[in-house]
Amino acid sequence: MATLHSCSFCSLHSLPSVTVKYSRAQPRILRFNCRSSSDDKEDYLLDAPVSIGDGFSFSGGKYSDEPSPADEWFNKGKFVKAYPVSGTGEKAKDPIFGLTMGGSSQASSDLFRWFCVESGSSNNSPILLIHGLPSQAYSYRKVLPILENNYHAIALDWLGFGFSDKPQPKYGFDYTLDEYVASLESVINALTDKKVTLVVQGYFSPIAIKYASNHQEKLNGLILLNPPLTINHAKLPSSLSVLSNFLLGEIFCQDPLRASDKTLLSCGPYQIKEDVAMVYRRPYLTSGSAGFALNAISKAMKKQLKGYVEDTRAILMDNNWSVQTTVCWGQRDRWLSFDGVEAFCKESKHRLVELPMSGHHVQEDSGEELGQLIAGIVGKRSSL
């Protein structure tokens, strides 16, 4: 009598189902169902009508015919083209199965597309809201409405995140921290020709600080949300570090629950709601490109973060640093310890604002409070 076994490996990591049949009379039959989504069949994508995540997917399948929160967020935004594509223009292939990747994993022909959501008039002073690792511009959804009356607020997705381009590593963008610094300069220039206030969160803070060190004349101010500031911050927490591991990290980066839910929930008190969770999961559910990008970013962070943290400390302590800088710190951060932060801010003469009920992702835990705080900081500087 035949027995049927389903592959727990694939079930655990959201891979296509593998069915193995055993029989005394028949040889073993292995079925592995996977394919490239380059044929653009609608039923392969989740919430296909507005999805742009059409790369190779480990977890395809249409789950809803109704508009989702991700659709609603997507409809509020636009694409800005910035930062030239490098490489030979060769079509990207996924590193596991060798299949040609779909559109969202391919580099553009000229400039990368960055997804951003804006609020307020473009005539007002610009505030650029930059998310951390791993997150999305969506994390600032509660901040944007508070800033819209007096400022031009812009929340953007980094390359590799949200709805921005996610080229396959080594096919136009390698996700190194140096590339992120250069690309940030390009997208800021594309978004505005005015002096801008940068609000940047978490592990992407050193990238913004490196950019700012070379372009102080372009900044009205810098607001850092739980940035890595001490030598003890130069090591990724385990829930992020594991994403850089060989093979295991590549698998975990393709698992929406590990790539989004676990990283959001492990770093603070945040309790994620299902409709919000689906927005963060969306890139990983619709395309393998988001997972491949996250794996590459995690590897780069693990390798380069220490040097960037050292540069951050040197830049912010330098007597030539003229950008008014505020550090906002969620006291319930489980990834970055507060030890040494107060002493650093005191020595470097930068303002420190503590948020006792917030964790690492301050904008998620205390979005409205953060919006009011940003408005107050920028407003005070404008009146000087």
Q: How many CB atoms lie within 10 A of CB 261?
A: 15
* Rounded-to-integer distance, Cα 242 and Cα 80, Å: 32
Q: pLDDT by residue (tens digit) across 64-87?
A: 556 788 999 999 999 999 999 887
Average pLDDT, the chain: 83
- The predicted pLDDT at position 191 comes to 97
Are 76 and 117 within 8 A, CB to CB?
A: yes
User: Could you say which DSSP state residue 325 is in?
Assistant: E
Please tell me the predicted confidence (pLDDT) of residue 96. Answer: 65
Helices 289-317 and 274-286, packing angle to 10 deg: 110
- Report the pLDDT value the prediction gives residue 227, as an integer from 0 to 100: 98
Residues 6+ apart with CB under 8 A from 375: 146, 147, 150, 151
Name the pairing type of β-strands 111-119 and 151-156: antiparallel
- Number of CB atoms found within 10 A of residue 161's CB: 26
Encode pLDDT of 189-239 as tens digits.
999 999 999 999 999 999 999 999 999 999 999 999 999 999 999 999 999
pLDDT value of residue 182: 97
Report residues of the chain scoring pLDDT below 50: 1-63
Q: Give residue 198's pLDDT.
A: 98
Nearest to 228 by CA among 360, 317, 371: 360
DSSP string for 217-248: GGEEEEEEES---SGGGSS--HHHHGGGSTTH
Residue 168 has a pLDDT of 85
Q: Which residues of 326-346 are buried (b: 16+ CB within 10 A; e: fewer)?
A: bbbbbebbebbeeeebeebbe
pLDDT at 6: 38
Check residue 73 and give its pLDDT. Answer: 95
Buried-state track 187-208, b at ≥16 Cβ within 10 A, e below 16: bbeebeeeebbbbbbbbbbbbb
User: Which pLDDT value is given to residue 29?
Assistant: 39
Q: H or E element: which one contains 85?
A: none
Work out whether the CA dihedral 339, 342, 344, 347 comes out positive or negative.
negative
DSSP SS3 for 364: helix
